Structure 1
Amino acid sequence: MATSNPQIQALLCDMDGTLSDTEVFWQQAERRIIAEYGNPTAGGGPSHQTIGVSMEASAALLRDQYGVALEIDQLIQLAVDFALESMSGGVKWMPGVLALLDEAEAAGIPRVLVTSSPSSVARAIVSELPGQSFDAIISGDDVSSHKPEPEPYLRAAEALGAEVQRCV
């Protein structure tokens, strides 16, 4: 792999809260699930309890704390569907992200999106980028261990043939 900076072989980008502020879409989806399928008065609505946890843990919280009588897999799919619906055309990029992606591209540094979100969500976010792209996407569907475990980042480096110690 040739880059103009041999010290940096790849840029590995997290998505939620780093590339874009997608947390708002997940919270909207959770509120909608509770309103339509659960008990909106139980527990005061979703909070920061679901930020940074797996989709399975978020779904279990909705089921157990808010009385949503759906299976975990159904809850996850509903959350993804509702979040994708909200994301369409409404993604806001974190300050400096677009410039960073442009600079990496200009320098010949490959970029990989690394996220615990499902691939359908990752692809939807990438489709909203104004011109930038990623050389690869490693999503929650591609790994057995999610962040903060290192597997997603190791897979991202591997996807490009990059040495992990030379990735940012």
Structure 2
Amino acid sequence: MNALQGVLFDLDGTLVDSEPLWFEVGRTVIERHGAVWTSDSSTKLLGVNLPKIGEALQRAVGRADLSGEYLLNEVVVEISGLLRSSVIWRPGAVSLLASLNAARVPVGLVTASYQPIVDAVRSHLPAGTFQTTVSGNDVSQGKPHPESYLLGAKRLGLEPERCVAIEDSPTGIASAEGAGCHVIGIPSQQPLPESPGRLILTSLEEIDLPLLQSRVG
């Protein structure tokens, strides 16, 4: 019997090469409000949940009249607009999603990004590619807390322990493993540490249905 019930994908850096957009738009917003972009700014925009990005933006701008929530909304609106126009997929992303859909394997999207960004990316895919999505708007505790992956599995009616999660960051991996999922890591902006039971690959192109089944079976 096939033990694999479903596959849960992260978005930024995993399916879509969007993390450079966060740096680009973050820089634009910070400099628009009179502050200076630094290397420390980019470090604080990587692999954290969106409220923390808002806090980092507010600290970088340093203006009491501009909240982190306000600055973050500027970033989300601009990124979602850019993604509506075009998406740079990570190699193998679209073909892997299509193959899972063809095999009728339940697929979910579990991301820290807010719903406008999710909707922008989904607009480039066939309807029904994801049977459920979990965005940062859906949870009270973002990654690395396991709430996102627990909710994704629940919405699909699946057991997390029989799902494979595909992630690109240590923060996302911690969230998926905390929920009990089997994890495949595909590094993007930072290296991923090896760990027992964790499979680290270089590209989504290396993943197929037999490999996913082998992680759970």
| TM-score range normalised by the length of the shorter chain | 0.7 to 0.9
The TM-score, its normalising length taken from structure 2, stands at 0.69
Alignment partner of 2:109: what SS?
A: strand
- Which one has more relative contact order, counting CA pairs under 8 Å at least 6 apart? 1
Q: Secondary structure at the match of 1:39?
A: coil
- Pair 1:59-2:92 in alignment: no
- State the SS of the aligned residue for 2:153: helix
> How far 1:45 sits from its partner (Å)?
7.6
Q: Does 1:78 align with 2:74?
A: yes
TM-score scaled by length of structure 1: 0.87
2: CA distance, partners of 1:82 / 1:45: 22
Aligned partner of 2:203 in structure 1 is: none
Going from structure 1 to structure 2, the CA distance change for 1:45 and 1:32 (only over 3 Å counts) comes to farther
- 104-113 or 67-76: which moved more? 67-76
Over the matched positions of the two proteins, sequence identity in percent amounts to 35
Matching residue of 1:149 = 145
Moved over 6 A (4+): none
Cα displacement string for residues 84-130 of structure 1 (whole angstroms, at most 9, x for unaligned residues) = 12222221111111121111111110110000111111111111226
Call closer, same or farther: CA 1:93–1:131 in 2, change over 3 Å: farther
Amino acid of the structure 2 residue aligned with 1:64: R
Instruction: State whether residues 16 and 115 of structure 1, in contact with CA within 8 Å, keep that contact through their aligned partners in structure 2.
Output: yes
CA RMSD of aligned residues (A): 2.0
- Stretches of structure 1 that go unaligned for 5 or more consecutive residues are none
Deviations 1:20-74 (A, max 9, x none): 111122112111111211323x646832221011222222222223335511221
Residue from 71, 83, 86 that aligns with 1:87? 83
Q: Secondary structure at the match of 2:41?
A: coil
Conserved in 1, the CA contact under 8 Å of 2:30 and 2:60?
no
Asked if the contact 2:16–2:90 (Cα under 8 Å) also holds between the matched residues in 1, the reply is yes
Check conservation: 1:26, 1:83, Cα contact below 8 A.
yes
Count of aligned positions? 163
Contact 1:101/1:132 (8 A) holds in 2: no
Q: How many Å apart are 1:165 and its aligned residue?
A: 1.1
